[in-house]
Amino acid sequence: MKAYEHSRSFDLFKTVEERIKSNYTTEQYLSTLDNFLWQSLVPIHTECPSLFNNYVAKVVAHQALRPSTKFTSLTAEERGKLPVHLFNMLTAADVPQAHNAAKAMYLNRGLLFGFLALFHNMMRPYMKLHSAFYDIDTLVRAHRMRQIELSVGLRHGGVLYAAAQQSSFWYDKARMFKHMIIEKYQRMTLNNARKTYKDFNHFVPLDDCIQIFLQVLSRAIDRCNPRQGVLTTFIQNWFKSARSEVAKLAKGQSDQSYEAMSEDHGDAAHIALGTTDPDRSTELQQVIAEAARTVDPSGSVRAALGIPEILPYADRQSLLMFVEDPYEPEHELAESVAG
């Protein structure tokens, strides 16, 4: 077990003051954030409809082809209506109707933030070209501006510069407000990260635990649907996935070689490996067997210690391919070798 090491980052995060002093409901937090996000998307949807439509269509198609992914906070039953919402968006008579159809999809806020980041990264050279202090030939300036306008699908007669400025204004507000929500849950996140750090015997540095939990906090805010529960409970449920990520890192860092175990346990190394204790779980034996296989590929040491040889599923199937008749006694032999 490693010693507890305090983190300076932990102290710095603990001193961050919440800019939202009052406690609001989940609906108030997330509806405000959604309002800023969609206000930022309106000018893009208006002036560059093909860019926005293509992005949403790809998201819906990916969701339809891979049901296991969750690009929307809709329930499993409601996700079947995504193509209908997409059709309504693409065939709407005007932008407000199309926008309402897009809102009905309840796309994850992370996808919307990603789209806005992509758009404004494309706009940086365009905004620079509009600067009076940027010295460039007039024809070259006009040519480059037109290239960018075509790349984002600017509609005929559209005004991209004004749309980019308006979108940027609301985009900054959305990012700022999300940070304010994160601040409200930052102390809870830090406490969970420190508890997880202790629970896994300090194998994973506290700074890494904090980073993992803060990332999960951000994803939880992006995916929470106020119609389906409270934000605090939703975040706490997502912290389970953060603990799982820390557990994977701890498992990778805590796997000891056979030489290290022999040094720690002497002649009783086989007991430390769990090969003689009937209470040891099969999962632990599999982990140990994999680690021992890496250290002792020939198998001589493992055979002497009685470490179980557990083949991966792919290798097991390869062995079974050589069995001609599954009802012959050889099949039982093959299963005993593979198992």
Region 122-133 average pLDDT: 92
| Residue 39: pLDDT over 60 | yes
pLDDT at 191 over 90: yes
* Tens-digit pLDDT profile for residues 134-149: 888 999 999 999 999 9
When pLDDT is cut at 50, 70 and 90, the band that residue 214 belongs to is: very high
Least confident of 5-9, 92-96, 152-156: 5-9
How much of the chain is helix, strand and coil, in % rounded to 5? Answer: 70, 0, 30
pLDDT, mean of residues 94-121: 93
Let me know if 64 is exposed, middle or buried by CB neighbors in 10 A (0-12, 13-18, 19+).
Answer: middle
- Which residue in this structure is represented by tokens 């709407």? 92
Give the residue-averaged pLDDT of 183-193. 94
Which pLDDT band, with edges at 50, 70 and 90, does 304 fall under?
Answer: low
- Residue 256 to residue 265: CA distance in whole angstroms: 12
Q: What is the mean pLDDT of residues 31-46?
A: 95
pLDDT at 277: 41
Residue where the block lists tokens 């600017």: 154
User: 210: which 2 tokens?
Assistant: 């904090």
Q: Distance (Å, rounded) from C-alpha 55 to C-alpha 95?
A: 16
pLDDT tens digits along 5-36: 878 888 888 888 899 988 899 999 999 999 99
**Nearby residues of 180 by Cβ (< 8 Å), 6 or more positions away:** 18, 19, 20
Residue 272's pLDDT is what?
36
Flag whether pLDDT at 51 surpasses 80.
yes
The torsion angle over the Cα atoms of residues 123, 124, 126 and 127, rounded to 10 degrees, is: 110
Given a cut of 50, whether residue 280 has pLDDT beyond it is: no
Percentage of the chain surpassing pLDDT 70? 74
Q: Does the pTM of the predicted model rise above 0.85?
A: no
Yes or no: say if 197 and 183 are a contact pair by the CB < 8 Å rule: no
